[in-house]
Structure 1
Amino acid sequence: MHKKLFTTGTKAILTGIACAALLAACKKGNDGGSPAEGVAEDTLKYLTYQIMQVSYADGGRNAAAGLPTYYWYGKVPQLNPLDSKYPNADTLLARMKEYAINPATNQPFDHYSFLDRDGSLTNRLMNGISSQTFAAGSGGYGLDYGLGKDQNGKIHIYVLYADKNSPAGQKGITRGWEVTAVNGTTVFNESQVTYNMLNEAFFYSSSIILGLKKPNGETTTATLNTGSYAINPVLFDTVFTVKDKPVGYFALYTYSSVINSDGAATATKTALDETFAKFKARGITNLIVDLRYNGGGATNTAEYLDNAIAPAAAAGKLMYTSKYNDKLTEHLSTVGLKASVNFAAATGGLKLDHVFFITTGNTASSSELTLNNLDPYMDVKLVGEKTYGKPVGFIDFTISMYDASHNKKYLADLYAINFETFNANGKGGYYTGIDVDAPAVDYVNVPWGNTDYDDNLLKIISFLETNSFSGQRAAKARIAAANDQLRVAIPGTRTQHGFNGMVNYEVSKAVSRFNR
C-alpha cells in the first residue's frame, strides 16, 4: 500500500480535480481503456507537465506561485501534454527528457527522470521499508544477481548481494553463492530468453525456488517468498589489520534514508550507527567503503556518512551546494529551498589517513555525492571502475487526484531532475562518471571481505603497505593461479534493478509546507 510521504500540496490536488472534471466527458481515455483509466492517465500527464514546466505552487495564494521545477525546463518547448502522441505520462516524460543536450556527449543530460507508479520506491528510500512489490530495486526477495562466464564459455549465476533482513538474507544467502537452478531450470546461456526468464523470476514473481552452491562447495535449495522488511544497507563489515594498523571495511548497497517520514530514525541509521561505533572502538586509521553496487538514494544518508567519515577540521564547513533552475533560485527562501549544506559542528571522531571507495559503473548519485563531498577535506581514493555519473538529484512530488466518487486516488511519484550538486571546491558536473585512482576487477563470485581474491581489496592493501597500488606480487600470483575459478561479470548484465539517483526528502517536505 502506498504510504503518502508528502504531496505537492493543494495545487496538485485541485488541479487534478479540475483536470478530471474537464476530461470526464470523454467516452474513452487516450490509452483506449475505460473512461476512469483514461481520466487518471490524462490527469497524470497534465500534472507531470505542470509541475515540471509551469507551476507546482498553490494557485496564486503565494507570491512565488507559478514556478517550474524541472532543472532543464528552459530547454523544453511548449508541449500539449494531452496530445494523442503521448499515450501515457511515461511517453510524455521521455519526450521532455530529450531536449537538454550535453555538448560533451551529444546525448541528453537527462537519462534519469522517471515516474514511480506504485509508491514503493518512495517508501523504500524514505522510510527504509522494502515492500512486496517487485519494481522497487532488489524486488521482494532482497537480493540481486550477476552473470559470469567460465573458461569454457558456460554461463554461471552468482548472488551479488542480499539484504540481511530480507527473505534471502534470512535464509543466510549472501554474496558469492552460485545459483545453480532457478525454478528447475539448470542450463543458462547468453540469450535474451535466459535474461528475460531470470529477470521475471527474480524481480517480478512472488515465489522462487533456487538451487545454490556455497563457496565451500556445499549445495542447498531455498524457496523464497516475497515479503516486506526493514532495509539494512550494511551488507558486511569487518576490521582488517595492515602493517599493525586497523582498517575498517564495510559494503553498502543502498542509501535508504536515516530519518523516516515521521522524523524517526530508521533501521538504516541504526545499522550505520552500530558499524561506525565498531570502527571508532577499534581505532581504525583507514577506512574502505564498498559502494560497487550502490545506486544512491536519500541525500541525508550521504550527509550522515560524510559527517561520520570527515576529519575534525571539516566541522562546520561547507559540505556541498545545490544549484536549481533560475526561477527557483530567485525564490529559494520563499519556497523553502536551501542552496548549501555544512558539515556538522562535530564530525564522527575518526582520525583517518585515507578513505578508499570501491566503485563501479553502478556507483551513482548519492554515492558519488558522498565521495565528492569529502574530497576537499581529506585524502580520498577510488578503486575499481569509473562511477555511473549523476551529479543531479530529485525532489519527490506525489501526484494525486479525486475520482468521480470523490475518493482520493494516488497516481504516481514524480522524480524529475530538480538540482545539481557541487562540493566545497566547486567540483561537480561529472555526467560521464568519476575516474578511479586504481582500476580493479570485480569478480562476482568472490565473497565480501576476501583479501585473497578481491582485486579491489588487494589493490588497497597494496597501497597501505607500499604506498603504491601496483604492489602485492604474491596476491597477483594467487589470482593468476585461480584465474579459471574467478568470474568476471559479463558486460551489460550487471544489476539493473538498483535505484540510480539522489532524493532530497528534506527539501520535499519544505516544498510541501509551502504549498499547503
Structure 2
Amino acid sequence: MRNKILLPFFLLALLCAACKEKNVEPATSTETNQWIYDQMKYWYYWNDHITANPDLTQSPEDFFESLLYRYDAGTRPDGDRFSWIQESADELKASLSGETKTTGMQYKLFYYPSGSTNVIGVVLYVAPGSSASDAGFRRGDIFSSVGGTKLTGDNYRQLLNAGGALSYTISKFDVDDVLKETTVKRKVAPVVLQENPVFFDTTYTYDAHKIGYVVYHQFIPSPNGSSGKEYDQKLDDIFAKFKAAQVNALVLDLRYNPGGYVSSAINLASLITKGTTNDVFYYKEYNPQVTETNRKKYGDSYFYDKFVSKSQNISSSLQKLIVLTSSRTASASELLINGLKPFMDVTIIGEKTVGKNVGSVTITDSDGKIKWGMQPIVSKSLNSLKQSDYATGFVPNTTIGEGIILYPYGSPKDPLLGEALFEITGTHVTRMAHHTRILSEKGEEIESTIEKKAGGSNMFFDR
C-alpha cells in the first residue's frame, strides 16, 4: 500500500495503518527508541545526519529530538523547523483530522498598549457548537482577565493553560478608544470537538465584478474516523455555487490555515486551476534511500501528484485570484499557492507566510505496542516548474495586518478583505475606521493559539 504524505503548510504525511486495540504489553522506552530510530533512519529527509550510535536510554521525546537536524540560522540554515513527536499516536492522528480537546475558541494575544506588560486576548474565530460558542464568544471579542486575574506577561501562560473550566472577563473600547474591563464574564470548558474547516463563504457583486469569498481553516478531507470526503465535498458545493454565479474573482482566506492533507490541497487547487489533469500540481523530493526504494516499487509517478478533474472548476470565468495570509499561514496553504503559480497569477494580501516547503509523514506502530506517534519531515515540495523557493515564506504583494479590532468574516471593513475588494474593483467599497488603524498600531502581538493546532505550522499531509 502506497505511503501517504502530510504537508504542514507544506508537510508531507505518511498515514500508517490505524492502531487496533490489542492486548499487547506496552513497549519499554528502549524499545520505543529503537522503533523511532529505525523509522527515522529510513524516512527522515536529513537521515544522513543521524548518528550511527544513538543513546537509547533517553526518554522517547528527548531521544527523538536528539536525532533531528535542527534549524540554526548560523550553522544550519537548511535545517529542520517542523518535526515533532507526540506521546499518544491516537491523539496525534485525531488532531490532524481536526479533532481536539478544546474550548472551540482560537485567539491571539497582545501586549496592550505596546511596551506595557498588560496582555489581552482577541478572539479570531469560534467553532460552532463549541463551549465558547455556547458561552457567547464571537470573532473580535476581547478578554483581559482569566479567573478574575488580569493577564500579564508573567502569568498569561499559566492562567490560559490551567485546564478545566475558565472564566474570561470581557473588555471593550469606549468612545475615546480606551480599553476598559466590563462586568461581563464568560465561562468555557474544553471538550473533544471535531472542527469543520470550511468556515464561511459568500459572494459579492460590484458592477461587473462577481466575487467569491471563502474562509478555509485547515486542509482536512473529512472528520476524524471517516473514510469519506465530507469537507472536500462542502468545498465542491461552494465552488458549484461560485460557478453558477460565474464569479470572475476569488478571495481565498487562509490567514489562520496552518496546513493539512495534500489530498485536500489538490482538491481545492483543482477547483481553481487553469491547468489540466495532465499537469503536475507538485513534486516530492525524498532522501536517497526512500527515493530508490519507491522508484523501484512504483516508478516515477510516486514522486508527483497531478490536478484532478472537477466539474465545479471556476477557471473558465476566473480573472483574479487573491489569497489572504498571515504569519500563521503555512504548509498545505503554501503548497497551494506554489502549485498554482505556474498556471495563473496569485495575488497575496496580508502578512508573510511561515515558509514550510517541506512535508512530513504520520508514523505510528500498526501493532499497537508503541503508543507514541511522530511527524518527521520526510520530503521537500516543488511545483511543476521545480520551484521551491519559499523556505522563508511568501512575501505578500500588499502587506497589511488585521490589527486588534476584528470584524465578522465577510465584512468589507476587515482590512485584508477590504484591500482584496479594492484590488479587484479599483474602488474602496468601504473605509476602515480611523480608530481601527490607530488601535492596531498600539498593540504588540505575542502569539496565537493557531500555532498550537496539530503541532503548529507543521501540517502538510496526504491520504
| Cα distance between partner residues in 2 of 1:400 and 1:329 | 23
Residues 41/288 of structure 1: CA separation in 2 closer, same or farther (3 Å cut): same
Partner SS, residue 338 of structure 1: helix
Correspondence 1:448 to 2:414 = no
1:115 positional shift? 0.8
The answer for the alignment partner of 1:123 in structure 2 is 94
Correspondence 1:480 to 2:434 = yes
TM-score relative to the length of structure 1: 0.74
Correspondence 1:436 to 2:381 = no
| Cα distance between partner residues in 1 of 2:205 and 2:234 | 23
Cα contact 1:8–1:397 (8 A) shared by 2 = no
Correspondence 1:501 to 2:458 = yes
**Structure 1 portions without partners, runs of 5+:** 21-35, 54-67, 133-139, 402-407, 507-516
| Cα distance between partner residues in 2 of 1:102 and 1:210 | 39
Cα contact 2:356–2:391 (8 A) shared by 1 = yes
CA distances 1:165-208 after superposition (whole Å, capped 9, x unpaired): 433235453310122442233x222x13223322x14xxx2322
Cα contact 1:319–1:373 (8 A) shared by 2 = yes
Cα contact 1:178–1:214 (8 A) shared by 2 = yes
The answer for the alignment partner of 2:164 in structure 1 is 206
| Cα distance between partner residues in 2 of 1:314 and 1:400 | 37
Question: Relative contact order, CA 8 A, sep 6+: which one is greater?
Answer: 2
Tell me the number of residue pairs that the alignment of Structure 1 and Structure 2 aligns.
431
Partner amino acid, structure 1, of 2:343: Y
CA RMSD of aligned residues (A): 3.3
Cα contact 2:418–2:430 (8 A) shared by 1 = no
Describe how 1:44-83 pairs up with structure 2 within 5 A: 44-53=32-41, 68-82=42-56
Correspondence 1:257 to 2:224 = no
The answer for the alignment partner of 1:6 in structure 2 is 16
1:260 positional shift? 6.0
The answer for the alignment partner of 1:94 in structure 2 is 65
| Cα distance between partner residues in 2 of 1:172 and 1:278 | 31
CA distances 1:47-82 after superposition (whole Å, capped 9, x unpaired): 1111111xxxxxxxxxxxxxx111111122313241
CA distances 1:83-131 after superposition (whole Å, capped 9, x unpaired): x4xx21221222222367778x7445202111122222312324x4x14
Partner amino acid, structure 2, of 1:193: N
| Cα distance between partner residues in 1 of 2:121 and 2:236 | 33
| Cα distance between partner residues in 2 of 1:50 and 1:381 | 43
Cα contact 2:326–2:401 (8 A) shared by 1 = no
Describe how 1:136-285 pairs up with structure 2 within 5 A: 140-150=102-112, 153=116, 155-185=119-149, 187-189=150-152, 191-198=153-160, 200-201=161-162, 205-212=163-170, 220-258=184-222, 263-266=227-230, 268-285=231-248
Residues 457/99 of structure 1: CA separation in 2 closer, same or farther (3 Å cut): closer
> Which of residues 321, 340, 346 is equivalent to 2:283?
321
| Cα distance between partner residues in 2 of 1:365 and 1:461 | 26
| Cα distance between partner residues in 1 of 2:251 and 2:174 | 26
User: After alignment, is 441-450 or 246-255 more displaced?
Assistant: 441-450
1:459 positional shift? 2.0
Residues 245/396 of structure 1: CA separation in 2 closer, same or farther (3 Å cut): same
User: After alignment, is 143-152 or 211-220 more displaced?
Assistant: 211-220
Residues 436/76 of structure 1: CA separation in 2 closer, same or farther (3 Å cut): same
The answer for the alignment partner of 2:265 in structure 1 is 302
Partner amino acid, structure 2, of 1:90: E
| Cα distance between partner residues in 1 of 2:388 and 2:200 | 30
1:486 positional shift? 4.3
Partner SS, residue 493 of structure 1: strand
TM-score relative to the length of structure 2: 0.82
> Which of residues 487, 490, 504 is equivalent to 2:444?
490
Partner SS, residue 241 of structure 2: helix
The answer for the alignment partner of 1:109 in structure 2 is 79
Cα contact 1:112–1:501 (8 A) shared by 2 = yes
Cα contact 2:16–2:365 (8 A) shared by 1 = no
Instruction: Give the fraction of aligned pairs with identical amino acids, expressed as a percent.
Output: 23
| Cα distance between partner residues in 2 of 1:75 and 1:247 | 49
Correspondence 1:385 to 2:355 = no
User: After alignment, is 389-398 or 245-254 more displaced?
Assistant: 245-254
Partner SS, residue 107 of structure 2: strand
Cα contact 1:97–1:111 (8 A) shared by 2 = no
Cα contact 2:321–2:347 (8 A) shared by 1 = yes
Partner SS, residue 314 of structure 1: coil
Partner SS, residue 379 of structure 1: coil
The answer for the alignment partner of 1:62 in structure 2 is none
| Cα distance between partner residues in 1 of 2:226 and 2:38 | 28
